[in-house]
Structure 1
Amino acid sequence: MTAREALRAGLMTGLRTALQPLGVTVFDAVPVRASVPQAVLGEPGDNDWGAAGIEGRELRIAVTLADEGEQPRRLRACVAAVEAISLPEVLADGWRVAGLSVVATRMVKAGARWTASVEWRVRLWRVGQ
């Protein structure tokens, strides 16, 4: 399993756990038809972050949240829940989390729909692969 796949699997689990109590449906691709509130996990971009004998990747990935209403109260709660997500120390296939940090959060309104995005920088490594 690649670092990208391991990260996506770990984040999908974390997002579902964090957002389900708020009534948010989490998708791993943009849905054709879905009601709000919803969250869509994007595709990560990655770079080498290795050293001698260590396979390492630095990945950037964002989740996009959508809701409707006069004010973004529920969306703010969703953003806070997403920003508080943590990953287990070890992901699938031996990938270990060296760092997880939120690097950007944005919120905009277009018509009746509010959209927010949270972007993380994640560093993963594994030994002897």
Structure 2
Amino acid sequence: MTAREALRGGLLAKLRTVLQPLAVTLFDAVPVRASVPQAVLGEPSESDWGAAGIEGRELRVTVTLADEGERPLRLRTAMQAVEAIALPDMLADGWRVGGWTVMATRMAKTGARWTASVEWRARLWRMGQ
């Protein structure tokens, strides 16, 4: 399993846990049709973060949230829950979390729809692979 797959699997599980009580539907790809509120986990970008004897990857991943209404109260609540996510120390297939940081957050309104995004940087490593 790649670092990308391990990160997406761990993050999808955490997102489901925090978004389900808020009645936000989570997608792992952009849906063709879906009602709001919704969240979409993007594809991570990936680069090397290794050293001698250590396989390491740095990944950046964004979740995008959408809702409608006059004020983004529900969206703000969902965004705060998403920002507070902490990954477990160990992900699938021996990948360990060496760093997990929120890098950027954004919120904007286009017409009747509010959109917010949270971008993280993850540093993952595994020994002896």
> TM-score if structure 1 supplies the norm length?
0.99
Q: Which residues of structure 1 form unaligned runs of 5+?
A: none
Q: Which residue of 1 aligns with 2:41?
A: 41
Aligned sequence identity (%): 78
Q: Which residue of 1 aligns with 2:59?
A: 59
1:34 deviates by: 0.7
Q: Which residue of 2 aligns with 1:24?
A: 24
1:71 deviates by: 0.2
CA distance in 1: counterparts of 2:121 and 2:104, whole angstroms: 9
CA distance in 2: counterparts of 1:15 and 1:55, whole angstroms: 26
Q: How many equivalent pairs are there?
A: 129
Tell me the SS of whatever aligns to 2:89: coil
Q: Which residues of structure 2 form unaligned runs of 5+?
A: none
Deviations along 1:45-101, one digit per CA (max 9) or x if unpaired, are: 011000000000000000000000000000000110000001111101000001100
Tell me the SS of whatever aligns to 1:35: coil
Tell me the SS of whatever aligns to 1:9: helix
Tell me the SS of whatever aligns to 1:122: strand
CA distance in 1: counterparts of 2:90 and 2:62, whole angstroms: 20
> TM-score if structure 2 supplies the norm length?
0.99
CA distance in 1: counterparts of 2:104 and 2:81, whole angstroms: 15
- Cα RMSD of the aligned pairs, angstroms, is 0.4
Aligned AA (1:104)? A
